[in-house]
Structure 1
Amino acid sequence: MSDAANRVADASGNWVDTRAPRWSRPYLRLARFDRPIGSWLLLLPCWWSAALAAGIANSIGQLPRIITLFLIGAFVMRGAGCTWNDITDRDLDARVERTRSRPIPAGQVSVRQAVFFLAAQALIGLFVLLQFNRFAMAIGIASLIIVAVYPFMKRITWWPQIVLGLAFSWGALMGFAVTLGRIDATAIALYAGSIAWVIGYDTIYAHQDTEDDALIGIKSTARLFGARTSQALLAFYGLAVVLIGLSLVLAGAGLAAWVGLAAFALHLAWQISRFQIGDPARCLQLFKSNRDAGLLLFAGLLADAAMRVG
C-alpha cells in the first residue's frame, strides 16, 4: 500500500507525510505531529500564565527558559494524550469516516506498540516536569487524572468539552506554579476563562462529526447545541473574555495586556460571524484559527511583562 493511502484523512500534505522517515510516520501520526494545532492549543494557556506570572513577579529572566520547557512539554504530552485517546477509542474511530484512517484502526500500529510509544512520550514529559519546583511538579502530575478519564466522557455526557477544557487549560495554572510557587485567584480566573474558550472551539471542531457521532451514540456539545451553536459560542467566548479580563484586573496588568485581550476578543467574534454548521471544512478552519487568537493574547501579555520590568 502506498504511503499516500496511509495518511490520516484530515492531515494530508504535511511534513510527516512528505519528509519524515517512513518507519516513523505512523507514530508521528499517532502523536498528531501531522496536525500540531492541538499542541498549540495545549501550549497557549501555559504561555499566557507564564507571561502573566512573570509580570506579577516583575521578573522575566527565567521566562525564555520556562517558555521553551512548556513548548517541549506541550507537544510531547499532547502526543501522549492523543496516543492514549486512540488506544481507548480504537473501536469507535474505526466507525467514523474522518478517524478510521488513524494509525491504530488502520492497522499501521498495534495496541502494544502504541502503549510503548505512550510510555516513551510520558518519560520525556516527566523529564520536563523535573526541571520545575516541587509544587509545580505536583500540579503537573495531577493533570494526568483528567487526561486519563477524558476519552470516556463522550460516552456518558453531552459535555465532554468541559473535561477537555479542564485538561487543555491546565497550563493556565502551571505558569503560576512554576514562577510564583502558588495558585491564586488570578490563576483560577485565567484557568476558568481558558476552559470557556476550549468549550467554544472544540464545539466548532465537533461539528465535523455530528452525523457519524449520532449514528454511533457519541455525545458532544455540538450535538447538544445543534442549530443554537452560534448563540452558545457567543456565550462561551464572551465568558472566556470576561474571565481572562478578570485575571488581568487581579494581576494589575497594563495596557499591552488589554490590547492583547481586545485582539483575542475580536478574533473570537470573527469566528462566530464565519461559523456555519453545515460546512465541515470551515469548521476545521475556524478551529485551527484559535492558535492565532491565542498568540494575539500571548503577545499582549508578553509585552506587558516586559514593560513592567522595564
Structure 2
Amino acid sequence: MVAATSPAPSRLALYLDLIRWNRPAGWLLLLWPSLAALWVAAGGFPGWHLLAVFVLGTILMRSAGCCVNDVADRDFDRHVKRTAQRPVTSGRVSTREALMVGAVLALAAFLLVLTTNLLTVLMSFAALAITLAYPYAKRHVSMPQAVLGVAFSFGVPMAFAAVQGQVPVLAWVLLIGNLFWVLAYDTEYAMVDRDDDLKIGMKTSAITLGRADVPAVTAFYVLYLAIWSRALWPMVDHRLWAVMLLVALVQVGWHYTLIKDRTREGCFKAFRLNHWLGFTVFAGVVIGLV
C-alpha cells in the first residue's frame, strides 16, 4: 500500500511563503516607527491618504525585500536549519521568479509614493537602494544590522517629507533612535542562527559582539527609548509618556530574561515580540501628543 503524499503547494502559496505573509511581525517592525513619525510630523492624525500610503507601502516593500534577500542568501540559507526550506533556497521558486515578484511589489509601492510629493518620491529611491544593499552587507560588514537599521528606519524621514515637504533635524534624530531598536531586535534574530552563521562565514552583530551580545541588546533598547523620549519630550504630555516608558521598559526587561541564556527558542521569541514594543511607542505618540 502506497502512502498518500501531500499535494504540491500552488504558485500562490509559494509566493505567499516567499514574502512571509504568515509572519506579519516583519512588516509591523517597519510600520510602527513610520506611523509614529507620521503622527509627529502632522501633530496628530495625518489623514487617510497618507495613512493608506504608508501602511500599504510598508507591507509591499517589506515583501519585496524578502524576495531580494532570499535570492541573495540562497546559497547560505541551505546551510541554516531555520531557512533551508524557504521557496528559493529549496528550488521551488526560481531566482528569476522571485525577483519578478519582488519587482512587481516594489513597483506597486512606488505607484503609491507617486501620490505624495516630489521629495518623498526622491527619498524612495534612496530607501530602495539601501534595501537592495542590505543582503550583501552580510558578506562584508561586521555589523550588517546597522545597514538594516537605516533601511528599516527610513520611513521616518519619508513620513516627514510626505507631511511637511521637508525633513527637519527631528526626523534624523528619530531615525538614529530607531536604528538602535533595529540593532536590538535584529541582534536577537542573529543570535538564533549564530552557530550556523559561524560555520558558513556570515557576518552578524551577534558574532561581532560575542559574549557582550546580551548587555549590548539591552543597551540598544535603552538608547532607542532615551533618544525618542528626549526628542519628543517638548511635544508630549509628560505623564502619559512616562506611562508608555514604563510599559516599554517592562518589555525590555522581559526580553532580557528571554535572551540571557542565549537559547535559540528564547532569542527567536524575543525577536518576534518586538512589534509590541514598537506599538507601545506608537501608542505613546498618539495619546501623548499635545
TM-score range relative to shorter protein: over 0.9
Matched, 1:303 2:254: no
Q: How many residues matched?
A: 285
1:2/1:278 CA distance change after superposition, 3 Å: farther
Distance in 1 (CA, whole Å) between partners of 2:78 and 2:121 is: 36
Q: What corresponds to 1:81 in structure 2?
A: 65
Matched, 1:203 2:187: yes
Q: What corresponds to 1:181 in structure 2?
A: 165
Distance in 2 (CA, whole Å) between partners of 1:253 and 1:91 is: 48
1:189/1:291 CA distance change after superposition, 3 Å: same
Matched AA of 2:235: G
Contact 2:36–2:285 (8 Å) recurs in 1 = yes
Summarize the alignment of residues 11-160 of structure 1 with structure 2, pairs less than 5 Å apart.
Answer: 22-55=10-43, 60=45, 62-160=46-144
The Cα of 1:31 is off from its aligned counterpart by 0.9
Contact 1:51–1:63 (8 Å) recurs in 2 = no
Distance in 2 (CA, whole Å) between partners of 1:269 and 1:64 is: 36
Matched AA of 1:67: L
Distance in 2 (CA, whole Å) between partners of 1:213 and 1:283 is: 15
Report sequence identity in percent: 34
> More deviation in 78-87 or 177-186?
177-186
TM-score using structure 2 length: 0.92
The Cα of 1:119 is off from its aligned counterpart by 1.4
> More deviation in 172-181 or 292-301?
172-181
Contact 1:136–1:178 (8 Å) recurs in 2 = yes
Matched, 1:2 2:6: yes
Distance in 1 (CA, whole Å) between partners of 2:49 and 2:283 is: 17
For residues 84-143 of structure 1, the C-alpha deviation after alignment (integer angstroms, 9 at most, x for no partner) is 111111111112111110001112111111121111101111111112111111112211
TM-score using structure 1 length: 0.87
Contact 2:114–2:121 (8 Å) recurs in 1 = yes
2:236 corresponds, among 248, 253, 267, to: 253
Distance in 2 (CA, whole Å) between partners of 1:150 and 1:2 is: 36
Contact 1:50–1:63 (8 Å) recurs in 2 = no
For residues 13-39 of structure 1, the C-alpha deviation after alignment (integer angstroms, 9 at most, x for no partner) is xxxxxxxxx331111111111212111
Matched, 1:212 2:196: yes
Distance in 2 (CA, whole Å) between partners of 1:153 and 1:24 is: 30
The Cα of 1:254 is off from its aligned counterpart by 2.3
Distance in 1 (CA, whole Å) between partners of 2:225 and 2:262 is: 27
- The answer for unaligned runs of 5 or more in structure 1 is 7-21
Paired residue secondary structure (1:102): coil
2:254 corresponds, among 270, 293, 300, to: 270
Contact 1:207–1:277 (8 Å) recurs in 2 = no
Contact 1:159–1:219 (8 Å) recurs in 2 = yes
Contact 2:258–2:269 (8 Å) recurs in 1 = no
Distance in 1 (CA, whole Å) between partners of 2:42 and 2:161 is: 11
1:121/1:99 CA distance change after superposition, 3 Å: same
Matched, 1:288 2:272: yes
Distance in 2 (CA, whole Å) between partners of 1:290 and 1:64 is: 26
Aligned-residue CA RMSD in angstroms? 1.8
Matched AA of 2:185: Y
Contact 1:186–1:247 (8 Å) recurs in 2 = yes
Q: What corresponds to 1:194 in structure 2?
A: 178
Paired residue secondary structure (2:286): helix
Contact 1:193–1:239 (8 Å) recurs in 2 = yes
The Cα of 1:258 is off from its aligned counterpart by 4.5
> More deviation in 197-206 or 119-128?
119-128
2:225 corresponds, among 205, 228, 241, to: 241
Distance in 1 (CA, whole Å) between partners of 2:184 and 2:55 is: 23
Contact 2:206–2:213 (8 Å) recurs in 1 = yes
Contact 1:189–1:246 (8 Å) recurs in 2 = no
Distance in 2 (CA, whole Å) between partners of 1:225 and 1:85 is: 23
Distance in 2 (CA, whole Å) between partners of 1:287 and 1:147 is: 20
Matched AA of 1:49: A
The Cα of 1:277 is off from its aligned counterpart by 4.2
